[in-house]
């Protein structure tokens, strides 16, 4: 899927231009709606050529921490979280501790920034999930976030992604493509390609404006695993985290 790119300089030297292949939204069994083991997710990401993977389980980071410690050479795991706010979900990355769900968007973003983290908007305009789906709501928070998902591989149909990509272009905010994987079959079906080293907050932030979106999606049949996973997790006592 992915490979490093090399470009020749006019002097005859051949400097290496490092490419990064990043999926910024992925779940493991630490989410209430996934059964994917962190180790299996890592294997899938490495096999598909990803260099960076953000583990963003719902309202917790223990799965991401486990994945980070187990990541194979060549794959950087970014510790993240999909946080349920009062207005809809947000994605946070480069976290050191979990951010409590249930707060306002502004309070949530402030809590992420306290840790030096970055913030994105997942699956905007998707009315079938806990999304910030109204144009006026998104416009109000543009200045608070670092990117929006211009393509989410789990959005049904195409209109939601088309709206998100158009909104990002209109507002001048970086857009990314993500898998939003809840199974290992979905890992890396959509991702971004950047230059430089996105392993740090500053590196990722600098890379986002010129990121190339690579889009794809898993079959609808694969996504039918999610309600089954939610039922199994409920039986196991792993329910969605609620605010204190």
| Mean local confidence (pLDDT), 80-84 | 97
pLDDT > 90 fraction of the chain, expressed in percent and rounded: 73
20: which 2 tokens? 């990064």
Encode pLDDT of 178-205 as tens digits: 999 999 999 999 999 999 999 999 999 9
Q: Domains (ranges, CATH) in the chain?
A: 16-234 (3.20.20.140)
Residue 40: the pLDDT is 98
Cβ(44)–Cβ(101) below 8 Å? no
Nearest to 52 by CA among 72, 22, 73, 24: 22
pTM (predicted TM-score): 0.90
Residue 8: the pLDDT is 35
Encode pLDDT of 27-54 as tens digits: 999 999 999 999 999 999 999 999 999 9
| Mean local confidence (pLDDT), 118-136 | 89
3-state secondary structure the chain: CCCCEECCCCCCCCCEECEEEEEEEECCCCCCCCCCCHHHHHHHHHHCCCCEEEECCECCCHHHHHHHHHCCCCCEEEEEEEEECCCCEEEEECCCCCCCCCCCHHHHHHHHHHCCCEEEECCCCCCCCCCCCCHHHHHHHHHHCCEEEEEECCCCCCHHHHHHHHHHHHHCCCEEEECCECCHHHCCCCEEEEECCCCCHHHHHHHHHHCEEECCCCCHHHHCHHHHHHHHHHHHCCCCCCCC
């Amino acid at each position: 899927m992915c490979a490093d790119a090399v470009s020749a300089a006019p002097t005859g030297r051949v400097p290496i231009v490092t490419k990064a292949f990043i999926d910024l939204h992925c779940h493991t069994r630490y989410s209430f709606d996934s059964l994917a083991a962190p180790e299996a997710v890592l294997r899938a990401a490495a096999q598909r050529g990803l260099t960076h993977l953000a583990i963003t389980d719902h309202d917790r980071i223990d799965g991401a921490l486990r994945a980070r410690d187990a990541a194979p050479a060549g794959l950087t795991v970014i510790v993240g979280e999909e946080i349920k706010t009062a207005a809809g979900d947000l994605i946070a990355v480069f976290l050191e501790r979990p951010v409590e769900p249930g707060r306002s968007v502004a309070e949530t973003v402030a809590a992420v920034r306290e840790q030096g983290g970055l913030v994105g908007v997942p699956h905007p305009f998707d009315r079938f999930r806990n999304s910030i789906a109204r144009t006026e709501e998104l416009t109000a928070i543009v200045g608070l976030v670092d990117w929006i998902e211009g393509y989410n591989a789990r959005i049904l149909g195409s209109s939601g992604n088309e709206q998100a990509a158009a909104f990002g272009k209109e507002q001048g905010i970086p857009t990314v493509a993500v898998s939003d994987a809840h199974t290992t079959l979905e890992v890396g079906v959509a991702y971004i390609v950047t230059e430089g080293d996105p392993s740090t907050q500053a590196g990722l932030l600098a890379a986002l404006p010129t990121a190339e979106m690579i889009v794809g999606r898993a079959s609808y049949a694969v996504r039918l695993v999610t309600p089954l996973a939610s039922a199994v997790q409920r039986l196991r006592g792993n329910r969605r985290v609620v605010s204190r």
